[in-house]
Chains A and B, each alone.
Chain A
Amino acid sequence: EPEVTQTPSHQVTQMGQEVILRCVPISNHLYFYWYRQILGQKVEFLVSFYNNEISEKSEIFDDQFSVERPDGSNFTLKIRSTKLEDSAMYFCASSEFNTEAFFGQGTRLTVV
């Protein structure tokens, strides 16, 4: 069964460093998303991406964040200069139509 794959599963980075979280969406999907879940809290939408551009972003997704689909298979989230409060689980999701979402297993980011 096709699935969304995220790497790494856990990343530890120093405050101020850049980090790139990687995702391989399901191959025939057209819509891509990043969500964030701070420990013990709800899952929050960050950004949606369609047709090689951002279709919607939340207030959380400020200038420190960027997304890219550098080739036909990967979808990345970059945090330019990490802060302690960026520590969270980051979920990538994809969908063929914009009426569902298939989630990856998540990347736990720890900023120290």
Chain B
Amino acid sequence: AQKVTQAQTEISVVEKEDVTLDCVYETRDTTYYLFWYKQPPSGELVFLIRRNSFDEQNEISGRYSWNFQKSTSSFNFTITASQVVDSAVYFCALLSGNTGKLIFGQGTTLQVKP
């Protein structure tokens, strides 16, 4: 079965704190892709990152960083020095198979307070 679990339903931090959003996935495929999307209050899905299963290098983009560990089937997302504008729902998603279907986690609501 393919599944994505985001165990943290809601996280609240104060501005400038670092925060890590957890994502654990399940798949039997050897080739797959992992994604993070941000959904601000306006509702659209904003693409943040895609990683394929053969690339375990961690990635940093500004204040955002991602830690991909196949050994623990995790793809965690860290925001450094959080800002109020980071407040949103964050979804982790898994893509495997040949139809391009994305399987989303339940999402983590991040609230950054000033």
> Which A residues have a C-beta under 8 Å from some C-beta of B?
31, 33, 35, 41-45, 48, 50, 55-56, 89, 91, 93, 95, 97-106, 108
A contact face: mostly helix, strand, loop, or mixed? strand
- Which residues does chain B contribute within 8 Å of A56, judged by CB atoms? 97, 99, 101
Could you tell me if A43 and B99 are in contact, using CB atoms closer than 8 angstroms?
A: no
A35/B102 contact (C-beta < 8 A), A42-B107, A100-B33 known: yes
In the complex, residue of chain A having the shortest beta-carbon distance to the beta carbon of B97: A56
Contact A45 B103 (CB under 8 A): yes
Give the distance to chain A from B10, nearest Cβ to Cβ, in Å: 12
The reply to whether the CB of B30 lies closer than 8 angstroms to some CB of chain A is: no
Q: How far is the CA of A44 from the CA of B45 in the complex (A)?
A: 13
Which chain B residue has the least Cβ–Cβ distance from A54?
B99
| Besides A43-B93, A98-B100, 5 other A-B contacts (C-beta < 8 A) | A41-B106, A48-B101, A98-B99, A101-B35, A104-B44
Q: Are A48 and B99 in contact (CB under 8 A)?
A: yes
Residues on A with beta carbons closer than 8 Å to the beta carbon of B43: 89, 105-106, 108
Assembly CA distance A97 to B50 (angstroms): 13
Indicate whether A95 sits within 8 Å of B100 (C-beta atoms), given known contacts A42-B105, A105-B44: yes
Query: How many residues of B sit at the interface, in one of the four size bands?
Result: 20 to 34
Nearest CB on B from A59, distance (A): 13
Answer whether residue B104 sits at the interface, using C-beta atoms and an 8 A cutoff: yes
Question: Which residues of chain B come closer than 8 Å to A105, judged between CB atoms?
Answer: 43-44
Residues B68-114 near A (CB distance < 8 A): 91, 93, 95, 97-107
Hey, which chain B residues are within 8 Å of A101, CB to CB? 35, 95, 100, 102
A92 to chain B, nearest CB (A): 11
The residue in chain A whose Cβ has the minimal distance to the Cβ of B103 is: A45
Q: Which residues of A sit under 8 angstroms from B93, Cβ to Cβ?
A: 43
A95 → B minimal CB distance (Å)? 6
Which of A31, A103, A106 makes the CB contact (< 8 A) with B47?
A103
